[in-house]
Amino acid sequence: MGDIFTNFFAGIVPLEAYMVVSLIMFFSGVYGFLSRKSLLMILISIELILNSIDINFAVFNRYLYPENMEGFFFALFTIAISACETAVAIAIVINIYRNLGHVEVDSLNELQEPAEVAENTEVSK
């Protein structure tokens, strides 16, 4: 670990520095995911997590395997998949807002039918 201080401003950026950046971003996303009530805030935290993973892929590709391109392409596909997942999640959020009027996760059990109504509909079939 002393290499970080001797390489400071003299030489290349060490690999550990990039990993510290992605570590901070990842665990900020974890904190936001665990402690926020609004669904959109949870989605923003998921974006932070996925973005930190992309940095890791690109850095490992560049520093450890510079002649291959696997990390580069994996980051590319992760960006595409994250875009799809965000689009569908936001469609669900808008649908929830239309039905309930708010998007807080701790009161989403209003969507659930009460037990007697479900039983009545089953019996009548």
Partner 1 sequence: MAQQIIFYILALIIAVFSVMAVTSGRLIRSATYLLFVLLATAGLYLLLGYTYLFAVQTAVYAGGIMVLFIFAILLTQKPGDRITPESLKQRTLAIVLSIVGALFCGVIIFSNIKKVYALVEQTEIDTKHIGMTLMGTGKFQYMLAFEAVSILLLACIVGAIMIARKRS
What DSSP state is assigned to residue 1? Answer: -
Among 2, 5, 30, 118, binds partner 1 (CB under 8 A): 30
Smallest separation, CB 50 to partner 1 (Å): 9
Least Å from the CB of residue 104 to partner 1: 7
DSSP string over 101-113: S--BGGGGGGGSP
Residue 15 or 118 with smaller CB distance to partner 1: 15
Residue 56 to residue 89: CA distance in whole angstroms: 25
Q: Considering CB under 8 A, how many residues would be counted as binding partner 1?
A: 72
Q: Is 121 in the site for partner 1 (CB under 8 A)?
A: no
Cα–Cα separations (whole angstroms), residue 40 to 63, 84, 110: 35, 15, 18
User: Which of 2, 5, 6, 66 is in the footprint of partner 1 by CB under 8 A?
Assistant: 66
